[in-house]
Amino acid sequence: MVAASQPIAAQAGLDMLRAGGSAADAAIACAAVLTVVEPTTNGIGGDAFAILWDGTALHGLNGSGRSPALLTPEKLGDAKRFPLDGWLPVTVPGQVALWADMNKRFGKLPFERVLAPAIEYARGGFQVAPLTAQLWARAATAYSKRANTDAWRATFLVYGEAPPAGTLMKLPDHARTLESIAQSGGRAMYEGELARAIDAASRAGGGLLRAADLASHLTDFSPTISVGYRGYRLHEIAPNGQGLAALVALGILERRDFSNLSPDCPDVLHIAIEAIKLGFADAHAHVCDPAHMRISTTEILAPARLDELSRRIDLAKAQDFSAGIPRSGGTVYFCVADSNGMMVSFIQSNYTGFGSGVVIPGTGIAMQNRGACFNLEVGHPNCVGPSKLPYHTIIPGFLTKSTAQGEQPAMAFGVMGGFMQPQGHVQVVTRMVDFAQNPQAALDAPRWQWMKGKTVQLEPGFSDATIAQLRQRGHEITIADARTVSFGRGQAIVRMNPGWMGASDLRADGLVAAR
């Protein structure tokens, strides 16, 4: 089973399973196809993370890249916030290395076979999906106002315009690049022709990224961090990922009794919103390159500390625990399960839309802008610096169930969308665990999104009485026009006995493909 935001990508993953590949192979095929058919939210020059259950144990894969060795705080001058565009926010793209490393360790098929569908769609063409077309058009408008985007426009526009839904779109530069990646086992991106092209483009554009930065990149295999929740356990990637925010929030909610409440009642929403604020307060204070962490995740998630945080929530009024989320970003999330019990939760992305706007000429590689998640506050653990991992928004999720035999896989899932992601994780888990909703109902339900201070945005679907109650408690409520990608796009695969149950978010073009 493959649940993805694009039908073409889901089918590519399913083809790998039919060919005898593992869930890891299917995930890589799906990921590579998504860089072609949904370049609006991820690209070959982005990062990736995965949580993988291999049949007996859980693995965390961190494919995020470091800042250039030449990047120092002084390069920002007197800037008040990190720029989103140009070479300055570009960090080493880590997802290609993660693809290759995942294939070597958990795959069954040759790497070239796994990337073949992406190459085929890039060269032969694909039809642009409806929601993808909307994001493409929005990006075209934004990039028309930015300097030095000639290579981006040449790669992604057709006669100067974004392709409408249904357009047969071909990306020949992507095809050649993916072939080079496939034939070299990913090394062309870090040591070969593509690395040299990136280095040359960076120097020509005044960037700081160099071939040495690319050559030193490694995928990090690290244990996940987790918190228990009513007989289950939510697993997240350790920092530099922001999954800590979801774990803190869920740890707080575990100390509250929702048994006589409904999922959309004001009491549940109020407590969950306040818990997310506390989770983000911790994430924004502590999440950074793990080498620069000043307090361990074990200390942050200690039961006594979660008890204290829970006591800080006032049931009668909203409070201002955290300054807020600085920006939102676009990400691609999907999950895969195979007949041998392997499950993969996978997410990859630039940061905002097509990323930095920098495209390496002739390659189709859109460089990410993950450096924009660095902090500019001197002395902050996430302060910008050389060869450093930035705070990262993209986080796969994984749920296990506590049994007498130990932790057993229950669900590979995620909700993409910048700083919406921890909020989406919490909302999906509580709906399923506390209120017995199936994964499709949990994903399609209306969501809330904390923005800053006491400001909360709601999707349509909450009752007038609930909204009035939240406002009485001090929440500054705005209502979105529709359920859209700004509230995230989720996918989920739940382990059944036997078999699988899958779900794909209504806010995306995707589906669940299975055999």
Summarised one tens digit per residue, pLDDT across range 487-506 is: 999 999 999 988 999 999 99
Q: Span 220-248, mean pLDDT? A: 97
- Please give the DSSP secondary-structure letter assigned to residue 370: G
Helix (H) or strand (E) holding 283: helix 266-286
50 within 8 A of 346, measured Cβ to Cβ: yes
390 within 8 A of 371, measured Cβ to Cβ: yes
229 within 8 A of 250, measured Cβ to Cβ: yes
The per-residue pLDDT for 418 is: 87
Q: From CA 455, how far away is CA 442, in angstroms rounded?
A: 23
Q: Span 82-88, mean pLDDT? A: 92
The per-residue pLDDT for 329 is: 57
Q: From CA 98, how far away is CA 355, in angstroms rounded?
A: 19
Strands 476-479 and 455-458, by their bridges, are: parallel
Is 326's pLDDT higher than 60? no
3-state helix, strand, coil in the chain (%, to 5): 40, 20, 40
Task: Name the residue with higher pLDDT: 102 or 80.
Answer: 102
Is 49's pLDDT higher than 70? yes
Q: From CA 76, how far away is CA 358, in angstroms rounded?
A: 18
- Please give the DSSP secondary-structure letter assigned to residue 453: T
Q: Give the phi and the psi of residue 210 in degrees, each rounded to 5.
A: -130, 165
Is 403's pLDDT higher than 70? yes
CATH fold for domain 223-328+394-513? Serum Albumin; Chain A, Domain 1 (1.10.246)
The per-residue pLDDT for 417 is: 86
- Tell me the pLDDT band of 267, cut-offs 50, 70 and 90: very high
The per-residue pLDDT for 350 is: 83
119 within 8 A of 171, measured Cβ to Cβ: no
Question: Structure pTM?
Answer: 0.96
41 within 8 A of 349, measured Cβ to Cβ: yes
Q: Span 274-283, mean pLDDT? A: 97
- The domain locations on the chain are 2-48+66-221+361-373, 223-328+394-513
Q: How many residues does the chain have?
A: 515
- Tell me the pLDDT band of 319, cut-offs 50, 70 and 90: very high
Residue 273 token pair: 């919103």
Which residue has tokens 């306040």?
274
The per-residue pLDDT for 323 is: 63
- Tell me the pLDDT band of 321, cut-offs 50, 70 and 90: confident
Is 327's pLDDT higher than 60? no
Residues 6+ apart with CB under 8 A from 37: 6, 8, 9, 121, 126, 128, 129, 132
Tens of pLDDT along 184-213?
999 999 999 999 999 999 999 999 999 999
